[in-house]
Structure 1
């Protein structure tokens, strides 16, 4: 399974899509904008094994803010939304307030619809993301993608019941491995974040869950089969929460 993948953005997207349908029981294809969601849904088509969801990536907030109303409209017809969130890195500081207002609108809309599962980007903005979620109880389920926050922020996210999607590229740094070791083991699911996530210069592919299990087994100091079972059990529980299976 893969709970966060930009499958539509691989250079050979159709081929990767077909292969993911063969190899994975579930792939969550997150899009970067509402119009990208429409185009991807049209070009790649529907599959019971691939969930395509609308999003508005914080890195393109300035370029895509005009599509926010479309996203809020699309949310009525889906059970999950992504990629959304806030990016507090220096590269995107100029749009920070705009990002926050967009994410707030998404979370408010999620609550008004009875709850949605959100795949959330929170680079250098974990506190802001968690504050928005805290202000809207009933928003649904948060899946923090590639979490890079502090130990204190992780404890807060854990107390709030957030889930965490992690992929093999997270384990290429010491900080990533240290964070993964502290994640709540009952709320971790696999992701690839391909094609953006890379290892040795090569994009991680959507069928990387086995590699993620091996990485988690190493940092959790458990046998591989135990890590595999945890990921499998967690994945099924999250799918039930998402109501997409």
Structure 2
């Protein structure tokens, strides 16, 4: 399974999509903008093995702010939402106010719609992300994608009931490995973040969950089979929260 993948943005996306259908039981295709969600849903079609969700990536929030109303109209009929969130890194900090306006509107709409599972980007913005989620307690469930905050922020996110999606690229850094080792084991699911995530210069593919299990087995001090079982159980629990068959 893969709980955060930009399946539509791979080179030869239709071929990768077909391969993902063959290899994966489930792939969560997160989109970067509301218009991309419409286009991807139309071009790739639907499958019970792939969940395509509307989102507005914080890195392009300032460029696609006019699509906010479209996104808000898509949320009530969507099972989940993503990719959304905040990015406080130097490159995008100047657009932070716009990001916050969009993310708050999304979280509010999720709460108004009875709650949704969100795949959330939180680079250098964990405190603000958690504060906005806490402001709207009926928003649903947060899945923190490729979490890169501090250990203290990780504890705060765990205390607020957040889940975490991790992929092979996260284990490339000491900080990533340290955070993954501390995550609540029953709230970790696999992701690829492909095609943006890379390992040794190669794009991480949507069927990378076994690699993630191997890395986690070493960090958690359990066998690879035990790590796979844990990820499978977690994945099934999160799918239940999403309401995906």
The TM-score normalised by the length of structure 1 is: 0.99
Deviation at 1:166, TM superposition (A): 0.2
Deviation at 1:70, TM superposition (A): 0.1
Deviation at 1:197, TM superposition (A): 0.1
- State how far apart, in whole Å, the 2-side matches of 1:230 and 1:119 are: 20
Deviations 1:203-223 (A, max 9, x none): 000000000000000111111
- State how far apart, in whole Å, the 2-side matches of 1:136 and 1:79 are: 18
SS at match of 1:62: coil
Deviation at 1:8, TM superposition (A): 0.2
- State how far apart, in whole Å, the 2-side matches of 1:16 and 1:197 are: 15
Deviations 1:25-53 (A, max 9, x none): 00000000000000001111111100000
- State how far apart, in whole Å, the 2-side matches of 1:135 and 1:125 are: 16
Give the count of matched residue pairs.
245
Paired position in structure 2 for 1:158:
158
- State how far apart, in whole Å, the 2-side matches of 1:141 and 1:154 are: 16
Paired position in structure 1 for 2:51:
51
Paired position in structure 2 for 1:137:
137
Residue segments in structure 2 that go unaligned for 5+ positions in a row:
none
Paired position in structure 2 for 1:125:
125
Query: 4+ residue stretches of structure 1 with deviation over 6 A?
Result: none
- State how far apart, in whole Å, the 2-side matches of 1:24 and 1:41 are: 19
- State how far apart, in whole Å, the 2-side matches of 1:25 and 1:186 are: 19
Paired position in structure 1 for 2:35:
35
Residue segments in structure 1 that go unaligned for 5+ positions in a row:
none
- State how far apart, in whole Å, the 2-side matches of 1:146 and 1:93 are: 19
